[in-house]
Homo-oligomer: A and B are copies of this chain.
Amino acid sequence: MTMINAHDPTRTDQLPPADRALVERRAALLGPAYRLFYDTPLHVVRGEGCWLYDAQGNRYLDAYNNVASVGHCHPRVTAAMAGQAAILNTHTRYLHELLLDYAQRLLDTLPDDLGRMVFTCTGSEANDLALRIAKSESGGTGVIVTANAYHGTTELLAGMSPSLGPAMRKGQDVWMVAAPDSYRGTSLADGVAAALVQMRARNVQPAALLADTIFASDGIFPTAPGLAEAVAMVRDAGGLYIADEVQPGFGRTGKMWGIDHLGLTPDIVTMGKPMGNGYPVAGLAGRRDILDRFGQNMRYFNTFGGSPVAAAVGLAVLDVIRDQNLCQNAAAVGEYLLEGLTSLQSRHSVIGDVRGQGLYLALEFVTDGATKAPDSATALGVVNGLRDRRVLISATGPGANVLKIRPPLVFSYAEADILLRCLDECL
């Protein structure tokens, strides 16, 4: 979530007058907490598949959007939404079949031990609730996250999302440890072991290790060196392992979940972003015993979470992923893209590393291949250079030097070729 391309409100000179007026209205109505992408912000009015269209009718290849994951405005998803919204949309304190069908379909994709679903509207709500459950289950308060993690916007989660930048106020009993970095050879186990020693010394009982399975904000590290060992240590100390699948879930990595590659069964899996292809749907799956102990003491109600419309939309997204073979497409086109990026690396020394899984790929820029010093200037230049070529993308990582390639799952080989060609031009 590093905003290397945050909009500087003074630089609107290249915009059409109508868009400049929008930037000004926006500043007046929403204030500075709202940031825009790009030096020259983009005004989009229509989306279809992997393409976004601006007000002048120009089209932009969306290589960054993991919300409209089955493609912008997928007709099957929007039809499910419109159809159910016209029939019934109410809360979960009445019985409704779709909610249960949806819960069943989701649990069927996950390890058997995860037998209970809870629905929220956003990934933030899911992570926040997962931590409440972990604290209640463990009796502890200590939480371990990675050094440039992003887990959400609630006060609790903002306090453990260092990628929010220097103004982030660290929460109580939060430990931030080095991410598992396959490029620099860092193991997650080292940081977690040290954090657990410090917790013991300060009499803090561990509640959870909360980790994105692909470590997206840390720079995208699907192999996650030391994760399994770290999980084992946290569990030995009485804490839970919460896998944050809000970004990698729902086929992005070429399998349904990030954990499918890692062979791990978390205590809780949180999910969100692509779950409703833009409709606010999110939730968590957890171990039966843990969720049942939590539910004995505490009820959970989310006004819009798990509504018939949310369930209808969520089911349609699962149907599309299955019927259009989107896991397979993400794996195949992702592999093709990875080869193309590796070939770029052989010709451009500024590319220090190429890595990724499925359609979640990283291109890391360094000023020096030996020291691996981050080159954020090149990353920023490429992001803006691609925008000039009408390809949308962003950057991530603590050094803001890692291109984050994350197109909708319907990305085609032809679209991958456009991205590779434009990248080559920028470099």
Contact = CB atoms under 8 A, between A and B. Distances in A.
A375 B193 CA distance: 56
A35 B104 CA distance: 18
Interface residue range, chain A: 35 or more
A43 to B, nearest CB: 4
A299 B125 contact: no
Given A47-B89, A280-B280, A95 B26 contact: yes
Nearest to A135: B155
Contact of A94 (B41, B92, B97, B298): B41
A99 B29 CA distance: 10
A167 interface: yes
B29 A117 contact: yes
Contacts of A178: none
Interface string A148-169: 0000011110100000110110
Interface in A162-187: 164-165, 167-168
Contacts of A107: 29
Contacts of A300: 33-34, 153
B122 A121 contact: yes
Contacts of A42: 94-95
A39 to B, nearest CB: 13
A25 interface: yes
Contacts of A36: 93-95
A404 B388 CA distance: 57
B128 A155 contact: yes
A291 B31 CA distance: 7
A125 B153 contact: yes
B47 A65 contact: no
A117 B291 CA distance: 36
A389 interface: no
A124 B19 CA distance: 33
Contacts of A118: 30-31, 33-34
A100 B41 CA distance: 15
Query: Of residues A95, A116, A303, which shows the largest number of chain B Cβ atoms within 10 Å of its Cβ?
Result: A95
Contacts of A81: 81-82, 85
Given A23-B95, A72-B90, A295-B32, A303 B272 contact: yes
Interface of A: 1, 3, 6, 19, 22-23, 25-26, 28-37, 41-47, 52, 65, 67-68, 72-73, 75, 78, 81-82, 85-97, 99-100, 103-104, 107, 115-118, 121-125, 128-129, 131-132, 135, 153-156, 158, 164-165, 167-168, 272-273, 277-280, 288, 291-292, 294-304, 307, 309
